[in-house]
Structures are given as structure tokens and as C-alpha cells.
Amino acid sequence: MAKRKIDGGFTEPDMTPMIDIVFQLLTFFMIVSNFEDTKADERVKLPKDTLAKPPEVKPKEELVLNVGFIRDSNGAKLSNDPVVFYAGEDIPIEKIKQSLETEKRLFERTGGKGVIKDVSIIIRADSEVPTGLIQRLIRICQEAEFTKFSLKATQED
């Protein structure tokens, strides 16, 4: 490292290159970090697809439902019955109705009576979940009067 000689005999390291690099790193991490709350659950291994492009227009109101399996730290399934990861709890699909009713009431309280028609249900389902259960989930959502649905997939290169 370049050393600058100061009178008196002791040397002071030149800080400029280090500060340059640190600022570069800082700028990089600031730009890359994403504070958006996506409500995505990391336990869900989404299917991959080339057409999965992030939507250009975000739905005004959305409710994300994460459907996946309870897995151990290595990713092996602990149970074959998929659950909905909702508000920190693991709820079996058949029992999600109550939570949906609660969500519906919340949406109606903030947005008025008809708002439920504009709420998109975003289904983030694990790639191995049986399709019949997803359809069952959609049916339960329909019973709670939700009408818009989107299926999520991760982008594949």
C-alpha cells in the first residue's frame, strides 16, 4: 500500500483507494437490496418457466397464498400433505376458508364492499403439489368470492 510520509517520522497509509472500493461496494449493495415485501415464502419451490416474466402492471390489491410442503433443512419432504403457509402458521388447504374470510373482511374494511372483485389471489405453489389440491384451493377462494387468480413461476434462463 502506498504510504504517505508525514513530517515527524511516522507514516500514514493512503486511504483513498480503500474508500473508493468501499463506496463502490456500498453503492452496489444499496442498488441491489430490495426492501419490497413480496410475502413470498422461501419454503415453496416454485416451478420454473421461460415465460414467467414479472408483471408490468401490479394488481392493486393482492393476496399471496404460499402452498408447499413442510421440508427439513436439506429440502426433503417431511410430509406428503401440502399446507398453506399463512401468517406464520401451516394450515391444511381444507381449513384455509376461515383465514380467507378474515382476509376478505380486512379488504372490505379498507376498500369498501365491492373491493373483493379487484383482489388478485396470487398462488405460489410448490412444483410438486398435486394439481387437484390447487383446484380445490381455487374453489375455496371462489366460495369466499375471490375471482381473480394468478399462478406464479420463477423465471428460467
Partner 1 sequence: MKLAKRDAGASKVEVPMAPMIDITFQLLIFFMLNLKIIAPEGNFDINMPIGAPSQAQDDDVNLPDIKVGLKSDAQGNLTQLTLGQKNLGNDDAAFDRLSGEILKIIVRPGNPLTKDIEVEIDADYELQYKYVIKAVSRCTGRLDPQTGQLVRYIEKIKFAPPHEPKGA
Kindly list the residues in this chain that would bind partner 1 in the complex (CB under 8 A).
6-7, 15, 18-19, 22-23, 25-26, 29-30, 32-35, 38, 40, 46-55, 122, 124-136, 138-139, 142, 145, 147-155
Half-sphere exposure of 10 (CA within 13 A, CB side): 1
Instruction: Rank residues 30 and 87 by Cβ distance to partner 1 and give the closer one.
Output: 30
> At closest approach, how far in Å is the CB of 133 from partner 1?
8
Strands 3-5, 11-13: pairing kind:
antiparallel
110 residue type, one letter: T
> At closest approach, how far in Å is the CB of 58 from partner 1?
10
> At closest approach, how far in Å is the CB of 16 from partner 1?
9
77 residue type, one letter: K
Q: How far apart are CA 148 and CA 139, in angstroms?
A: 12
Instruction: Rank residues 73 and 131 by Cβ distance to partner 1 and give the closer one.
Output: 131
Tell me the backbone φ, ψ of residue 88, rounded to 5 degrees: 80, 0
Instruction: Rank residues 55 and 92 by Cβ distance to partner 1 and give the closer one.
Output: 55
Contacts of 141 (CB under 8 A, 6+ apart): 65, 100, 121, 149
> At closest approach, how far in Å is the CB of 40 from partner 1?
7
Instruction: Rank residues 6 and 76 by Cβ distance to partner 1 and give the closer one.
Output: 6
Contacts of 45 (CB under 8 A, 6+ apart): 68, 75, 126, 127, 128
Instruction: Rank residues 102 and 147 by Cβ distance to partner 1 and give the closer one.
Output: 147
> At closest approach, how far in Å is the CB of 56 from partner 1?
10
